[in-house]
Structure 1
Amino acid sequence: MSVPHRLYGRRSELEAVAALSDRLRSGHGGALLFAAEPGLGRTALLRRAALGFTAGPVLHTGAVPAESALPYSGVHALLCAAGDVPGAPSAGILPAGLEPGGLLELLSGLAAGRPLLVCVDDAHLWDAPSRAALGFAARRPDALRSVGLLLSAAAHRAQDPDFAGLPAVRLGPLTERAAGDLLDELAGEGTDPAVREALLHEAEGNPALLKVLAGRLSPAQLSGHAPLPRPLADADALSRTVGGRLAALPPDTAFVLLLAAAAEEQAPGAAGADANLVLRAARSAGIGPAALDAPEAAGVARCDGDLIRFVNPLLRRAVHAGASAARRRAAHRLLAGALGGDGHRLPRLLHHALAADGPDPRLAGDLAAAAAAPDPWVPALQRSLALARAAELTTADDSARTARTTAAAEHARLAGCPHRARELLAAAPEGAAHDAVRGRAELVRGALAMGDGPAGDAYGALLVAAGLLSPYDPHHALAARLGAMEAAWVAGDAAACVAALGGADPALGGADPVPAGPAPRTAPAGTAPYAAGQGACPHAPTARPPSAAPGGSGTYDDYRAGMLAALQARPEQARGPLRRVLERAVHDDDPQRLLRAGAAALVLGDITAACRLHTRGLAVGRARGLVALVPRLLEHLAYAELRAGRHARAGAHAREGLRAAHRAGQRNAAAHQHAILALVASVESDAGAVAGHVAAALAIAGPHGLAQAATLAEWASGRADLGRGRPVEAAARLGPLVRAGPRRGHFAVRMLAVPCFVEAAALAGHPDDARGAVEEFAAWAAHGGDPQAPALLARCRALLADPGEADALYARALAGHELADGDFEWARTQLLYGKWLRRRRRPGEARVRLRDALVAFERSGARTWVDQARAELRATGDVAGGEPVGALSCLTPQQLRIAHCVAEGATNREVARRLSVSPRTVDHHLRNVFAQLGVRSRVELCRLVDRAGAP
């Protein structure tokens, strides 16, 4: 293992250090306090600051805990660190009668007018007089001429009176990316991906723990050729990282902390331990509440209302792992005895199970039954822990143990803990388990791959699950088939979607299923999502059986029938079953079925119902802690908002969904959220945001085979080019997505991108390239799955029509927009119609259309489209489009438009295509522009336009 040569993920902290150094170079003083929990790198940060300071001498010292009671020992250590600095007292001798202000004078004398950096690590461990003198000096930056004080302290001591008023920076855990970069330097980039994921998960962003864990592994373990130690972060590793402040705690205090850690263990993910429960258990052991005072003073835990909270999750883990097995069992027995009443049956049984020291089939059965109780409000992670412990207590019956371990893995997945779910599946016995049990395990594996893995892997696992489950559990076999359909959907394989549902492979040829997007992930403007529980068990053991659930098996059957009919281009047969799915959802409260019903609403074009169902499903999913469902619900809700033309709302949901996807460890969901945000940014005309989200989506979509996310991202890029007035580039990008052929875009998205491609091709001067796509779009629109399609079809035909037909087609398009939501598409039609009218020399009519477009674009936040509408208005002579400013005010509207196009880098021929004029006309106007503005080159024109500002 190599030694890190740089800091990762500390950019803002290093910028604060650089700002302090700049102050010193300018002759000013300053101070900065870094506060952090153990292992987060405050010592490394001070070391890096000291090594990087080149403007003058550096005094760098730390604290010696053994001298913390010796007055002025800290100041003495600092003076000893001065070494050969001119003006330093010989051998670090302290001046007689040193007062708090004396350190300020000493430092000023050492600086002697030149920059001096003083780094004090673990300043909270200095003796009290030294801390007082240090704080006194640090709070007087004006008196510290050219002297900088860079201090570090434990997070719980940053508010001590000695440090009050100092500018403080709190260090948090490293981000996943920064921790991954550090691990690559520590262990090498050849680390097995599964080992890498395990190390990052165990370290929780703590660089010191990550270094300890990586250092424990042999090359064979790092490469995945040898098994990892279990637990990966054992008591020794945790103690070396955060255990320093635990060693000095009194025995009674240590046991109370163990009780708190054990109480939190049975409810992982909780905000803390129930203080009343812990105190009742402590009293049973003869320990009073005063024992809780010491951990708060030591910065280990604190009482916060009715909860005992550890200040750092690693401290809780260190307390629990550091105790002997006998003491842990004793703590769980005390906690079980302190719980009473039927409402605490599951936690009481779980504590009894955690106190057991060997197999106990009866206790295992009782615990498993309690974990499977039909109470939707029991946290999924608590169920997972209970079922996993029940499996451990089960005697050597491979099917029973595997069944309980698999159920534990499924609940861990639903709780947003895919790493724990994978560990549980890997720990399941490999004996001759029953096919039904093996099928449930494959179901969970497929669901995990759908969240973070290649879509093809998920498809294979889910079809295997369906085959294994079919003879014994038709309900979950159907869930597996629906999940396999989702995997094929995101991969862009329509035939595999049909095969997964049990239909014959359709002879789809060049035609797309109808409507576009009736299944898994919904694309805007006509694509509906699939919601059959992420491809996993839609009815976990906590749910009612299918016969008792509202619309349980009936909803599955109808959803399957409706999706199959839609995929096979039979829209009439699809509507009835999907409408029944919607009707059953009226009184349903299962978030997975609500997700499915929202998908059906999108297929049927009922956007209002889709928003309502997804919103309700989101509320229920959050309340029940189904973390794995939240990103999908937010994704589908964002799609519904996009179809309604509410881009700002769609962006808000997608941004929240992106955060939820990262929390749940679902990179595939994150890719789709990035694609949605790229589409939103393409409307808002934020080119940088579009490029960033597209790159993020494609980085995941490529290796995982997510064809839908990739196509949506490419569509967003093309639409952004179109909004910026670059039709040639837009047509080149969108053409491969919509044309027939093996490399075309996703079958559920390509029709949705056709209107953008037709507009780009027409404006680029190649209308014939789009005629085939328009006819295919017309066939798709005839099925009626998208309320916007008739208006968009009329607009496409108007763009390609002869002048005598275009007028009526634009009017038909606008009439169609009145029957469907979507201000943005309506405004685009108005803009295109206004452009056409102006070129037909009908400026009065054009102004009406362009003004309406301008207002709608402003309401939609589409900035570049606003600029287009204003430029067109100016070209009609309408001052409402905004008057040019400064030197550009002398130009005519047409000259102004040409000047801006040239300033963007367009050639005369490209400008001609964009403005629908001849290159000779552009050349004529451009010569006049140069003459009127007094410029001699395109470079000078570009600078002048930039200074004048965008139109």
Structure 2
Amino acid sequence: MPASHFVPRRPVLLGRRHESDVLDQFLHRTQAGRGGALVIRGEAGIGKTALLEYMRTAPGVRTLRVSGAEFESELAFAALHQLCGSMLSVLQRLPGPQRGALEAAFGLSSGTPDRFHLGLAVLNLLSEAADEQPLLCLVDDAQWLDRASAQALSFVARRLHDEPVAVVFAVRAPLGGAELADLPELRLEGLADADARGLLASQFRAPMDRQVRERIIAEARGNPLALLELPRTAELAGGFAVPGAAPAPGSVEASFRSRLAGLPADTRLLLLTAAAEPIGEPSLLRRAAELLGVDPAAVTPAEDAGLLTVSAWVRFRHPLVRSAVYRAASPEDRRAAHRALAEVTDADTRPDRRAWHRSMAVAGPDEGVAAALEHSAGRARARGGIAAAAAFLERAATLTPDPGRRAVRALAAARAKRDTGAAEAALTLVAMSETDLGPDDEPRRAEAAALRARVSFDRKRDDEAVVGLLRAAKLTTRCDAAGARELLLDAFAAAVFVGRFAKGPRLLEVADAAHAMRPGEAPPRLLDILLGGLATQVREGYAAAVPQLRRAVDLHRRADDGGEYGLGEVWMACNAAMDLWDDAAWRVLADRQISLCRQHGALASLPVLLSFRALAHIHAGEFGDAAALVDETHSIAVDAGAPPVVYVDVSLAAWRGDEATTAALADVAMRAAHERGEGRLANVTEYARAVLHNGLGRYEEALQAARPACDLDEPGFYSWIPVEFVEAAARAGRRDLALPVMERLSERAGASRTPWATGVELRSRALLTDGPAADELYQEAIVQLGRSEGTVHLARARLLHGEWLRREGRLSEARTQLRAAYEQLSSIGAEAFAARAARELAAGGEQVRKPKAEAQHRLTPQEFQIARLVATGATSKEVATQLFLSPRTVDTHLRNIFKKLGITSRRQLRGLPLVVTRTA
């Protein structure tokens, strides 16, 4: 579960501003003691449940939730059992007749409950439950409520005006019992086209054919569920997939099929042809119908039945109609329809669409068709259409007659599927390739093993993934030394993630393998240089590795922006930059790869890259930017099927000094670390706890938090954890613990010599030094950190120096440093450290004033991202490309941003202090 969801947050519902406002007003009245009832009514998939979820996350109310179920609709009092079961402890407080009615309804006593007494019992039970906090009862799928529960709840709903209790029913139109007929209603209609496009763009980040997108918008008619479900099959891949691959709900499909059965055969064939053609061009459909011998007038019965319309475009009445039409047809008719469409599709202007229809028209293997699909895949990938490329390759593999060639295409399809985050599909294709490989086809078997291992690591970053990658590297060595080193770098990344939970010295195993597998006489690649530096670091120590690591990081940083690297290489290059205390390279490397991933729609790589970039934002004191990336990271991790990347959530909460949130996130993160075998997550969690406790001045607790991770020497963390440990140990009076860590820190910083390294080393050494020497160390630390991007470290150096100066009795100088520290820490939102500075200032005789709240403009995470990008001069189209939104959606958000900030132009965004809304 993504860490940003550990604490309930209000969802932002696109296109539902009016509805959200209505619900907010309804809740405000309830919180003021004026309860009531509301019925949200709309068709299936229109967003009723989403609005209930919006209400569920409202602050200041206790929520109870009930869901009706069709199979329980004849089971008396089933819904009341759900609603009241947790409140039976107060049953004895009810008057006798009411208690008796409720006991009878719950089977606690015999008899038939009186409806009136039962209704009053439920009302009083809810009233009791709302004594301490307003109560919100959410009833989903109320059309399936059993009649007895519906009657009791409708009775209650009409008597809540003077109670801090609200009941909200979600009912599917046109269903819904008479019991709810006279209650206030909120009717849901489809989303406007602009909002529909925004929803589609926000949920499906891979490139999508424009005409296919417009067809989805038109056919969905604003139904959010249709917009989210329809593209998961053909449309997400640009129309190159089997329509109806995901079955429609049984009852809906049965209804559509019954309507189709009554149509003439020619009409059904015409409908099938329209369903098989993803664009909806009338001229194309007409020409295909002629080839099939179908009179174009055959469309009239389908139009009369309300199944589709033909005007400027061919549009089905509902997205599920198209799936039902296709699924109801025989295989022979499907092939005939695709064959006709292939014949009438221009081979010069639309070669890919023609190749796809040809592939669906053949009944068995066909090398010519498979080869055409393979060419189409190459064109699709070049355009950034990885999903379409994967669809072409998967179909090509299926149609390839030669087993060896089929295995090659299946592996290519598996790679493309992995790039889109479709792990299960990728593994299925790997298995398909392995069945076709001959016993002597060592290169392909090694490639299959490598892909399987990489998918395993994508899904679960545990010790087994490291072992799989090492095994794949050894298999690959004999046939592809360069590929084997790429796998070793991936294994290195996996071993770093596993860390302390490895079932052996995995980092050393990978380093030894890399040392034994050094490149030959040819000029080494960037990857080889990086792998060599990492192997040296593990085998010989940090100082020996610095020249190689610095060369690798510098070369990666200066490389052509068009270069695309494997995920393991990017991770380890960023790790190396952090180990070298090279914050500029760390930022540049993360930014470049994020841009490439966005451009190509490669979702699998984005969560970790965004996490690296968010940590760089924290380092620079840009907490709002970090929070915005956290929000995006979790969303994309879910889309890509990757494990949640929760590192930044807990770190950001700690730097903000949010004790409750840090504690909650840290507890869940540590459990997840142990469950997944992900030692890196444990390291980050301990680091975050140390930061929090240092900020709060609880140095003994900070010392205990940092100690486990500090005892380890794992890539990517030495620039962070020892600094916290030394401060905690020094302030806790444990010089004996601080000095050995300080010695290692000085050795590494001396080898690195960047401003960041030098600054934190000087700051840490000053904590263990007395007299004028300490003063000089603090001053030089501030100078050095001022030359780095580490705003948070600079501010803390000023805080420590000010604290030292005050203890030395140099109050005027102390106030200067403490005032600068307080202003900087407050402005970036590091509240615990700012409070430390405020306490020191107060102890030195100076009262501090908190920044005025009106100077901070609070935006949602997505609004914040858009505002920051627009402030740099980016156009709506450029912002949309980066954030996987439509330009219209960006403009809609901008209007909201302008309204919140009280401005009227993009230029006015520059320089405004923007803050991300914290939801809890």
What's the CA shift for 1:645? 3.8
What's the CA shift for 1:812? 2.3
Contact persistence 2:437–2:444 (CA under 8 A): no
TM-score (norm 2): 0.64
User: Secondary structure at the residue paired with 1:748?
Assistant: coil
Identify which of 409, 417, 430 aligns with 1:412: 417
1:845 pairs with 2:801: no
Superposed CA deviations along residues 131-160 of structure 1, whole A, max 9, x for unmatched, are xxxxxx99x999999999957335999xxx
Identify which of 679, 682, 687 aligns with 1:707: 679
Partner of 1:933: none
User: Secondary structure at the residue paired with 1:570?
Assistant: helix
Q: Give the aligned residue type for 1:485.
A: F
Partner of 1:585: 560
1:353 pairs with 2:329: no
Partner of 1:227: none
What's the CA shift for 1:361? 2.8
Contact persistence 2:400–2:406 (CA under 8 A): yes
User: Secondary structure at the residue paired with 1:484?
Assistant: helix
Structure 2 distance, partners of 1:794, 1:304, is 74
Partner of 2:597: 621
1:859 pairs with 2:827: yes
Superposed CA deviations along residues 39-85 of structure 1, whole A, max 9, x for unmatched, are 997755995997445999xxxxxxxxxxxxxxxxxxxxxxxxxx999
What's the CA shift for 1:608? 3.7
- Equivalent pairs: percent with the same residue? 26
Identify which of 737, 743, 746 aligns with 1:775: 743
Trace 1:54-65 onto structure 2 (pairs within 5 A): none
Superposed CA deviations along residues 671-698 of structure 1, whole A, max 9, x for unmatched, are xx31122111111112233234334433
Structure 1 distance, partners of 2:174, 2:588, is 45
Contact persistence 1:711–1:746 (CA under 8 A): no
Distance 1:808 1:555, change over 3 A: closer
Distance 1:253 1:737, change over 3 A: farther
How many pairs are equivalent? 687
What's the CA shift for 1:575? 2.9
Partner of 2:731: 763
Identify which of 798, 815, 840 aligns with 1:872: 840
Contact persistence 2:334–2:361 (CA under 8 A): yes
Q: Give the aligned residue type for 1:498.
A: A
Partner of 1:239: 250
Structure 2 distance, partners of 1:289, 1:500, is 71
Identify which of 435, 440, 444 aligns with 2:451: 444
Trace 1:549-628 onto structure 2 (pairs within 5 A): 554-567=525-538, 568=540, 569-588=544-563, 606-628=582-604
1:403 pairs with 2:416: no
What's the CA shift for 1:826? 1.2
Partner of 2:653: 681
What's the CA shift for 1:280? 5.8
Partner of 1:752: 720
Structure 1 distance, partners of 2:291, 2:175, is 31
Q: Give the aligned residue type for 2:334.
A: R
Q: Give the aligned residue type for 1:33.
A: R
Structure 2 distance, partners of 1:631, 1:439, is 27
Structure 2 distance, partners of 1:294, 1:552, is 67
Distance 1:426 1:693, change over 3 A: farther
Partner of 1:632: 608
Indicate the larger mover: 466-475 or 716-725: 466-475
Structure 2 distance, partners of 1:727, 1:336, is 72
User: Secondary structure at the residue paired with 1:734?
Assistant: helix
Q: Give the aligned residue type for 1:560.
A: L
Relative contact order, higher structure (CA 8 A, sep 6+): 2
What's the CA shift for 1:774? 0.7
The structure with the largest alpha-carbon Rg is 1
1:386 pairs with 2:392: yes
User: Secondary structure at the residue paired with 2:449?
Assistant: helix
User: Secondary structure at the residue paired with 2:800?
Assistant: helix
Q: Give the aligned residue type for 1:570.
A: A
1:731 pairs with 2:703: yes
Contact persistence 1:590–1:620 (CA under 8 A): no
Partner of 1:465: 472
1:377 pairs with 2:345: no
Structure 1 distance, partners of 2:317, 2:471, is 44
Contact persistence 2:384–2:599 (CA under 8 A): no
Structure 2 distance, partners of 1:607, 1:149, is 51
What's the CA shift for 1:425? 2.4
Trace 1:417-566 onto structure 2 (pairs within 5 A): 417-430=422-435, 432-433=437-438, 434-492=441-499, 493-503=506-516, 554-566=525-537
Superposed CA deviations along residues 509-564 of structure 1, whole A, max 9, x for unmatched, are xxxxxxxxxxxxxxxxxxxxxxxxxxxxxxxxxxxxxxxxxx99833334434444
Superposed CA deviations along residues 740-780 of structure 1, whole A, max 9, x for unmatched, are xxxx3645324521111122222223232211111111111
User: Secondary structure at the residue paired with 1:478?
Assistant: helix
Contact persistence 1:371–1:387 (CA under 8 A): yes
What's the CA shift for 1:170? 9.3
Q: Give the aligned residue type for 1:248.
A: R
Partner of 1:817: 785
Superposed CA deviations along residues 560-586 of structure 1, whole A, max 9, x for unmatched, are 344444554321233334433333324
Structure 2 distance, partners of 1:803, 1:879, is 28
Structure 2 distance, partners of 1:415, 1:304, is 35
Contact persistence 2:549–2:576 (CA under 8 A): no
What's the CA shift for 1:880? 2.8
Structure 2 distance, partners of 1:632, 1:394, is 36
Distance 1:238 1:697, change over 3 A: same
Partner of 1:365: 371
Distance 1:420 1:274, change over 3 A: farther
Contact persistence 1:834–1:846 (CA under 8 A): yes
Structure 2 distance, partners of 1:696, 1:682, is 15
Contact persistence 1:591–1:618 (CA under 8 A): no
Structure 1 distance, partners of 2:754, 2:820, is 24
Distance 1:860 1:405, change over 3 A: same
Distance 1:662 1:834, change over 3 A: same
Superposed CA deviations along residues 691-716 of structure 1, whole A, max 9, x for unmatched, are 34334433443233222222012211
Distance 1:156 1:487, change over 3 A: farther
User: Secondary structure at the residue paired with 2:655?
Assistant: helix
What's the CA shift for 1:628? 1.6
Q: Give the aligned residue type for 1:557.
A: D
TM-score (norm 1): 0.62
Measured on the aligned residues, the alpha-carbon RMSD in Å equals: 5.3
Partner of 2:172: 153
Q: Give the aligned residue type for 2:752.
A: G
Distance 1:776 1:809, change over 3 A: same
Trace 1:278-297 onto structure 2 (pairs within 5 A): 281=288, 285=292, 286=294, 288=296, 291=299
Contact persistence 2:434–2:445 (CA under 8 A): no
Q: Give ranges in structure 2 of 5+ residues lacking alignment.
A: 1-8, 14-18, 50-66, 84-111, 117-122, 128-136, 145-153, 192-223, 230-241, 500-505, 852-920
Distance 1:21 1:846, change over 3 A: closer
Contact persistence 2:802–2:817 (CA under 8 A): yes
Distance 1:390 1:847, change over 3 A: same
Indicate the larger mover: 447-456 or 775-784: 447-456
Distance 1:414 1:274, change over 3 A: farther
What's the CA shift for 1:291? 4.8
What's the CA shift for 1:477? 2.6
Distance 1:722 1:412, change over 3 A: same
Partner of 1:547: none
